[in-house]
Amino acid sequence: MAQTTDAPAPGTPRAPSRLGQWNSAVTSYYLLVGASMLLLVLGLVMVLSSSSVESLASGDSPYAVFLGQAQFALIGLPLMWLASRVPTRAYKRLAWPLLAVGIAGQLLVFSPLGLSKGGNRGWIYLPGFSAQPSEALKLALVVWLGAILVRKQPLFDDWKHAAIPALPVAAGAIGLVLLGHDLGTGITMFILVAGALFVAGVPMRIFAVAGVGAAAVVAVMAVASDNRVGRIMDFFSGDCDPTDGCYQTKHGLQALATGGWFGLGLGQSREKWSYLPEAHNDFIYAIIGEELGLIGTLLVLVLFGVLAFAMFRIIARHPDPFAQVVTGGVAAWIIGQALVNMGVVVGLLPVIGVPLPLVSAGGSALITTLVALGVVVSFARTEPGAAEALAARPSVVRRSLAVIGRTRA
């Protein structure tokens, strides 16, 4: 009796294995784009849910904050696509001009155009328009660090070449942000610079000196503000007043605890009813936990983990050191900021005032983060073999037309 076999006939092409798919040249590209879009969609949904009550209370439409965030997303997505098509050599040429524009924009906050918000002077206001220049400065700084550190890499044995001009210029850019008392953004920029220096291979002694200097600056900024001192003391105090210093932390933890495993349901948050300050911004992660439960918060963690994996994969595979350093800085910026935000919400860190990238409300932050991810996507498109693999795949239009043609047949 003949035995059947599942082996393919000779000459039949084999389907790619799961391991082979993960080793594909375009894995980084699809992981980056997929995780970014899922976080963006989740953020838009949660901004709508968490802001509707406060918008109604202030006399606006319940969709006011959401529509503003959606407009920023519609601006950021084409810019992200455009950034993903810019060749690497163009970013190298634009490094100095981008830094100059970023610093000029940050200087405008100290002009008559600049105004304060929440005690921080970091916004530019024009009729019908406002922006936070420090967000654009992050992107300009990380591209500039990539160009400078790669040029200096062969000279890293000499500490002067390893430290100059990267550290003084980075310190000056961060100093402009700290002059506006925006410690949260300053900390994010410190993390960004650390990521770029580490990936570039700066000697650890320089890295350690820069780290000590950054810690000293953060300590001085914290001590110089009575508000920050109070928040730090409340964080380390065992008898913090839940109606005063620990009010926001208490309600954030209550939101997470109330959500349980699967949450109260989308739109069913109780803390957003004027109990939890900044529910649609710095503490949106707490509303996710309340409405979507532990599953929702873990989903956010997994998506940021996917972003981190994709960017680390680019650092490991890309042949251009410039792409590696810039990707390292962007990874430290986005993943580091996300971890700080979530650490604040779950009570592991004192309240700092750092939004959750791609998820929290905020136009300047959303647009700049999307553009930064677009820059990294451009590097993913130039990984070894990625350009050929992407060119060989049919476009969405062609696939759609093929499906329509088969349906009609």
Is the residue at 396 inside a domain? no
Range of the domain at 237: 41-385
Q: How far apart are CA 252 and CA 341, in angstroms?
A: 12
Strand partners, 129: 126
Helix (H, G, I), strand (E, B), or coil: what is residue 331?
helix
Phi, psi of 115 (to 5 degrees): -135, 160
- The CA-CA-CA angle for residues 264, 265, 270, to 5°, reads 55
Per-residue pLDDT at 19: 47
Backbone dihedral region for residue 148 (phi beyond 0: left; psi -120 to 50: alpha; all else: beta)? alpha
Residues 6+ apart with CB under 8 A from 122: 109, 114, 116, 132, 133, 134, 177, 180, 182, 185
**Structural domain includes residue 296:** yes
> Residues 150-207: pLDDT tens digits?
998 888 888 887 888 999 999 999 999 999 888 889 999 999 999 999 999 998 888 8
Q: Which alpha helices (H) appear in 237-283, and where do they start and end?
A: 247-259
Residue in 100, 93, 123 with CA at minimum distance from that of residue 172: 100
Q: Total structural domains in the chain? A: 1
Q: Pick from 364, 327, 342, 312: which is nearest to 142 by CA?
A: 327
Residue 296, φ and ψ in degrees, nearest 5: -65, -45
Tell me, yes or no, whether 64 lies in a domain. yes
Is 268 inside any structural domain? yes
CA nearest neighbour of 161 among 202, 218, 126: 202
- Beta strands (DSSP E) in 78-169 are 114-117, 120-126, 129-131
Instruction: Count Cα atoms within 13 angstroms, Cβ side, for 132.
Output: 21
| Residue 35 near residue 359 (C-beta atoms within 8 A) | no
Half-sphere exposure (CA, 13 Å, Cβ side) for 137? Answer: 31
Q: What pLDDT is stored for residue 407 in this prediction?
A: 46
The verdict on residue 122 lying in a domain is: yes
Give the type of residue at 378. Answer: S
What single-letter amino acid sits at 244?
D
Q: What are phi and psi of 185, to 5 degrees?
A: -65, -35
Tokens describing residue 174: 């961060």
Q: Which helix (H) or strand (E) holds 137?
A: helix 133-152
Residues in the chain with pLDDT values less than 70: 1-22, 237-245, 394-409
Positive or negative torsion for Cα 212, 217, 221, 223: positive
Sheet with 129-131, edge to edge strand ranges: 114-117, 120-126, 129-131
Residue 29 lies in a domain: no
**Tokens 């550190």 -> residue:** 149
Residue 142 token pair: 């990380």
Note whether residue 260 is domain-resident: yes
211 vs 55: CA distance, rounded Å = 42
Provide the whole-model pTM.
0.89
| CA distance linking residue 14 with residue 50, whole number of Å | 49
Give every CB contact of residue 114 below 8 A, 6+ residues apart in sequence.
Answer: 108, 121, 122, 123, 124, 125, 180
Q: How far apart are CA 351 and CA 248, in angstroms?
A: 8
Q: Distance between CA atoms of 285 and 253, rounded to whole angstroms?
A: 10
Q: Is residue 395 part of a domain?
A: no
Q: Can you tell me the distance from the alpha carbon of 310 to that of 305, in angstroms, rounded to the nearest whole number?
A: 9
CA distance 164 to 128: 41
Question: What percentage of the chain reaches a pLDDT higher than 70?
Answer: 88
User: Residue 265 in contact with residue 292, Cβ under 8 Å?
Assistant: no
According to DSSP, the β-strands at 114-117 and 129-131 are unpaired
Retrieve residue 311's tokens: 């960017």
